[in-house]
Amino acid sequence: MKEEYADIIVNISHESVDRAFQYRIPEKFKEVIHVGTCVQVPFGRGNKLLKGYVINKSDICNYDTTKIKEIYAIVEDGVSMEDRQIGIAAWIHKYYGGTMIQALRTVLPVKKTVKAKEYKKVLLTCDREEAIAVLGDSKRMKGRGARVRLLEELLKEPELPYELLTNKLMVSGAVIQGLARAGIVRVEKSKVYRNPVKKYKNLDEKKKLTRSQETIVEEILKDYDDEKPQTYLLHGITGSGKTEVYIRLIEEVVSRGKQAIVLIPEIALTYQTLMRFYKHFGERVSVLNSTLSDGEKYDQCERAKHGEIDVIIGPRSALFTPFPNLGLIVMDEEHEGSYKSEGTPKYHARETAEELAQRVGASLVLGSATPSLEAYYRVEKGKYKLFSLTERVAGGTLAKVYIADLREELKQGNRTIFSRKLQELLLDRLKKGQQSMFFINRRGLAGFVSCRSCGHVVKCPHCDVSLSEHRGDRMVCHYCGYEIQKMNTCPECGSKYISGFRAGTQQIEEKLREMYPGIRVLRMDADTTKSKDSYEEILEAFRNGEADVLVGTQMIVKGHDFPNVTLVGVLAADMSLSVGDYRAAERTFQLLTQAAGRAGRGDTLGEVVIQTYQPEHYAIIHAANQDYKGFYEEEILYRDLMQYPPVANMLGVQIFASNEVEGIRVAKKLADQAKGLAERLREERGWSLKEQMQIIGPAPAGIGKIKDIYRFVFYIKHVDIEVLVQQKDFLEEVVKGMEHRGMNIQFDFNPVNGL
Ligand code: ADP
Ligand code: ZN
Ligand code: ZN
């Protein structure tokens, strides 16, 4: 390819991001012009010289070759903020695919003229005594949990942002209005954004860091001041003081005239956490979340750009906040799947944050109780520096964990879905009036088949992931397409108890009512939480002690604190182990560790029962022992053996087609082309068979069809990410020259969220 032409975006005013112009690349610039390069081009009739950015190169001219204009010059002076954003967009474009326009849209806020939004705050209007009296009354009444929370907070802070109360404290508008009518509170509106917590800045008493916290802060700052910032992994259980470390680091970085980005998955962004940041940074902190409109997001970016804020907190997309002097990026719960974008470009915020931090000379601090294999692998490779916080600051013991072997239960004649241990402990809690949580993990579950007698799970001989039930009587591997007839007896033990696991949250609820007459049960799953309010209502009712047991899917495990819960039951830990993808064990370990952390936050001993058909599985054993390192060491061996990330890299090519036959045809054709390139590269570079790129599939995706769109996928594995980028570029070209009407083809590097 000669690549004589370049698509250029001129004049980055954000509205025009969807229009590029083509120019010829003069011979002298051929070697130095890349995607992202800033150039000067003659524009319009007067050929006025404008600054623009190269977003694509090609050897095809879409224009009259005799009339096309030439790039005039390369702009080499200092890097402006726009250049930085364009640069990171170009990087995302290169490493995750999609179009440059899509990458730009990811990185740049869309400028939209919206009517000025009203900011609301809630104030206490009566005197404290009266408020305390109302609070007392409300506490004695049932179903007044939201009112209690609101009054408690307003007694601490006489005025609070409305959004904070409704989003994070789950106080509905109706509750606020009720109190307003009673003359207890008032809602005030203003046109300009003003964070009312400003006055209370630094109201949070400055805690003296523990010795280990202090060491971490000192070391990170020393690297920063020596101009050697890098990536750090802060490994510590919940409550071990990570957030306190982040806050102290941010204070130091801000005092040096820099800004900080704090990424927290939306589900973990609780009211308590937000208040801690508000109290430290007052109106210099801002929060991004999914409820903001494009216009509001744009406003936030403008405020950041103009130095009106120092700290932004938000999910994945907060990473692209255009701070002029970014000094620190914090990524809490770095192992969370939500850090990977599900839309194109499918970028991972951790990798992107690393690239961004490197470009601007910022430190990157990753925090987790259960680090991703990726992060820990990089620690082992010497790329990240590891810090550990091993104890809870407030003391308290870890929950006691029991493993219940469901095969044994069946042998002993227990046919219920509750093991004897769980029944015993539940009875004890019912007597004591303490609460329990039972959860079942069904995420991404596509009908795996297991033996209830011996726990055997049928796996693909080529991919070492479990097979899934497909169209009734077949079992299929969603990586390579391997397929066999579904069996009636277990190939391991011959028992006839082989089938898909069917127990759901509803059965659990019914069973509980049947076995424990009078038990108060709340259920939380996709069915009971269709509306946003119901989700909040259920949590509130449970927090207020209106139920003995909360039954739910994994959504109950994350981000909520219930001090009266002293028993957690994981009803079928295997379910997540058997999801047909290579991250199943990692996800199971994380969930079980989190579930264990739910019990026993207070002074009382918490207990956890993990029910499983595979009690010998390393993910279960290490989670029960809360032994991350032990888990990591076994898991990384598997990844290495199978050449799965993070040891090797993996590119998923996804084909979405309305016509099934056409979808398969295109998937096969692309896979063949990929094999062709793999073979050519092997010859060219003299790779051995082991070093060769592996191409697996195509196969139907985990969910083979959604809304009448068929989904196929194939995977390419190789150690070197650059080789996979080359494959992606090559396949993109193939797609361009191919008939693929009614089809959508996407690329996913190192997939996190199974398709
Ligand atoms: P994590 O982020 O790891 O869950 P936090 O930073 O939230 O941990 O700390 C847990 C609890 O301990 C919080 O209530 C916090 O205010 C408190 N805490 C943290 N560090 C200290 C300290 N050095 N001194 C006193 N209390 C602390
Ligand atoms: Zn069996
Ligand atoms: Zn397979």
Contact 573, 401 (CB under 8 A): no
Looking at the CA of 368, name the nearest ligand: 1
Query: Nearest-5° angle of CA 363, CA 366, CA 371?
Result: 155
Instruction: Locate the DSSP E strands across 214-299.
Output: 231-236, 259-263, 285-287
Query: For residue 574, how far is its CA from the centre of ligand 2 (angstroms)?
Result: 14
How many Å apart are CA 330 and CA 382, to the nearest integer?
20
CA distances from 276 to 233, 243, 367, 396 (A): 22, 9, 17, 22
Looking at the CA of 613, name the nearest ligand: 2
Mean pLDDT by 10 residues, the chain (755 residues): 80 59 90 82 86 82 83 77 82 88 81 60 87 88 82 84 77 87 85 48 70 97 97 92 96 96 86 84 83 75 87 93 95 94 93 96 96 97 96 79 91 88 96 91 59 81 76 76 86 82 74 93 77 72 90 71 86 74 90 78 80 92 93 96 94 93 94 96 88 90 78 94 94 85 90 76
The response to whether residue 37 sits with its C-beta less than 6 Å from ligand 1 reads: no
How many Å apart are CA 24 and CA 72, to the nearest integer?
10
CA distances from 380 to 216, 277, 752 (A): 18, 32, 21
How many Å apart are CA 382 and CA 233, to the nearest integer?
11
Query: For residue 551, how far is its CA from the centre of ligand 1 (angstroms)?
Result: 29
Residue 76 phi, psi (nearest 5): -115, 0
Q: Which residue has the tokens 């869309």?
A: 110
Contact 121, 192 (CB under 8 A): no
Among residues 213, 231, 596, 622, the alpha carbon closest in space to that of 389 is found at 213
Contact 58, 33 (CB under 8 A): no
**Ligand 1, atom 11, residue with closest C-alpha:** 239
Structure tokens at 246: 């982040």
Query: For residue 408, how far is its CA from the centre of ligand 2 (angstroms)?
Result: 12
Q: What is the reported pLDDT for 200?
A: 44
The response to whether residue 212 sits with its C-beta less than 6 Å from ligand 1 reads: no
Looking at the CA of 407, name the nearest ligand: 2
Q: What is the reported pLDDT for 205?
A: 63
How many Å apart are CA 206 and CA 679, to the nearest integer?
62
Ligand 3 ion local residues (Cβ < 5 A): 460, 462-463, 477, 479-480, 482
How many Å apart are CA 624 and CA 402, to the nearest integer?
7
Cis check: omega of the bond before 42, within 30 degrees of 0:
no
Looking at the CA of 460, name the nearest ligand: 3
Query: For residue 479, how far is its CA from the centre of ligand 3 (angstroms)?
Result: 5
Contact 285, 260 (CB under 8 A): no
Among residues 360, 278, 343, the alpha carbon closest in space to that of 313 is found at 278
3-state secondary structure of 497: coil
Instruction: Locate the DSSP E strands across 527-613.
Output: 549-552, 565-570, 607-612
Q: Which residue has the tokens 């002298």?
A: 28
Among residues 360, 185, 164, the alpha carbon closest in space to that of 260 is found at 360
Instruction: Locate the DSSP E strands across 93-215.
Output: 119-124, 159-161, 185-190
CA distances from 178 to 41, 186, 541 (A): 62, 10, 19
Q: Which helix (H) or strand (E) holds 675?
A: helix 660-685
How many Å apart are CA 672 and CA 700, to the nearest integer?
16
The response to whether residue 602 sits with its C-beta less than 6 Å from ligand 1 reads: no
Structure tokens at 624: 């029960």
Query: For residue 247, how far is its CA from the centre of ligand 1 (angstroms)?
Result: 10
* Residue 164 per-residue DSSP state: I
Query: For residue 281, how far is its CA from the centre of ligand 1 (angstroms)?
Result: 17
Q: Which residue has the tokens 């939480």?
A: 529
CA distances from 723 to 2, 443, 650, 672, 719 (A): 20, 32, 10, 17, 8
Structure tokens at 452: 């209830």
Structure tokens at 267: 């589900």
The response to whether residue 238 sits with its C-beta less than 6 Å from ligand 1 reads: yes
Among residues 450, 441, 496, 753, the alpha carbon closest in space to that of 610 is found at 441
Among residues 76, 92, 63, the alpha carbon closest in space to that of 316 is found at 92
Q: What is the reported pLDDT for 383?
A: 96
The response to whether residue 236 sits with its C-beta less than 6 Å from ligand 1 reads: yes
Ligand 2 ion local residues (Cβ < 5 A): 451, 453-454, 456, 490, 492-493, 495
The response to whether residue 597 sits with its C-beta less than 6 Å from ligand 1 reads: no
| Residue 643, phi-psi category: left (phi > 0), alpha (psi -120 to 50), beta (remainder) | left
Query: For residue 101, how far is its CA from the centre of ligand 2 (angstroms)?
Result: 53
Tell me the sheet residues that pair with 437: 550, 568
pTM: 0.83
Taken as a whole, the chain contains a residue count of 755
Which amino acid is present at 544? N
CA distances from 260 to 106, 325, 346, 391 (A): 20, 9, 24, 27
Structure tokens at 556: 């109950």
Q: Which helix (H) or strand (E) holds 302?
A: helix 294-305
The response to whether residue 207 sits with its C-beta less than 6 Å from ligand 1 reads: yes
Contact 749, 680 (CB under 8 A): no
Which amino acid is present at 90? A
Query: For residue 450, how far is its CA from the centre of ligand 2 (angstroms)?
Result: 8
Query: For residue 225, how far is its CA from the centre of ligand 1 (angstroms)?
Result: 26
* Residue 268 per-residue DSSP state: G
Looking at the CA of 238, name the nearest ligand: 1
Q: Parallel, antiparallel, or unpaired for β 311-314 and 159-161?
A: unpaired
Tell me the sheet residues that pair with 448: 468
For 673, counting Cβ atoms within 10 Å of its Cβ (0-12 exposed, 13-18 middle, 19+ buried), the class is middle
Q: In what order do the strands lie in the sheet with 474-476?
A: 468-470, 474-476, 483-485
Among residues 562, 546, 530, the alpha carbon closest in space to that of 437 is found at 562
Among residues 748, 319, 403, the alpha carbon closest in space to that of 608 is found at 403
The response to whether residue 642 sits with its C-beta less than 6 Å from ligand 1 reads: no
The response to whether residue 371 sits with its C-beta less than 6 Å from ligand 1 reads: no
Q: Which residue has the tokens 């071990």?
A: 240
The response to whether residue 545 sits with its C-beta less than 6 Å from ligand 1 reads: no
